[in-house]
Chain A
């Protein structure tokens, strides 16, 4: 599956990046193509490409604060989760993703 996402937390110093690493690591293990943008203390990094968003099966927003550029995801399936969930239980996040995609593909 192709998955894109954004991580962001209020201070943007640590958990934004932990969540990014956790989602990418688990996604790779499961054989997905994952691209995660961070909106943290250094601004937007690893910015999602238009083509990545277009081709994505789902958008994961692991955000604990307001983020920029949500209009890019208009019309996409979106899963919104807590930043802490992405870090502590990335496996559960991917289970949810599979559920959502399976349900809506019927």
Chain B
């Protein structure tokens, strides 16, 4: 499983990129997906430098490829309010999909799920539905439906 229930959190109070990444990293560490937070955060920061992963639609997809990641994962957060992701764009974010992929031991099945999730995020209906949910269980069910 790329997404598990303990990697989903809704209506978070965070209002900055760093704060929401901290919160999601804590989840990923608890779930045993990241062995080295520092190493993972560096990979994410490096990727954000190339170009901002907030590209509109209230979505950001910060991601890092690093051996700090033990198994591929997506940690998902919605925030209670939209916030500006970074200084490089005006794009607001309420939906954060934080992705981690190891450099070694990567299986196509996992990469395929990540690709499917990325595609799914371009569907208005899917994003609206996810943002409307207040129950983690329901959000997880919706997210799991993509993995299949």
Contact = CB atoms under 8 A, between A and B. Distances in A.
Interface of A: 10-11, 13-18, 20-22, 25, 38, 40-42, 64, 82-84, 87-89
B51 A18 contact: no
B119 A88 contact: no
A21 B118 contact: yes
B111 A41 contact: yes
B56 interface: yes
Interface of B: 47, 50-53, 55-56, 61, 63, 65, 91, 97, 99, 101, 106, 108, 111-112, 114-123
A89 B70 CA distance: 35
Given A18-B61, A42-B108, 9 more contacts: A11-B101, A14-B99, A14-B115, A17-B116, A18-B122, A20-B119, A21-B119, A21-B121, A87-B56
B10 to A, nearest CB: 21
Nearest to B124: A25
B111 A13 contact: yes
A64 B122 contact: no
A40 B112 CA distance: 10
Given A11-B65, A87-B55, A41 B119 contact: no
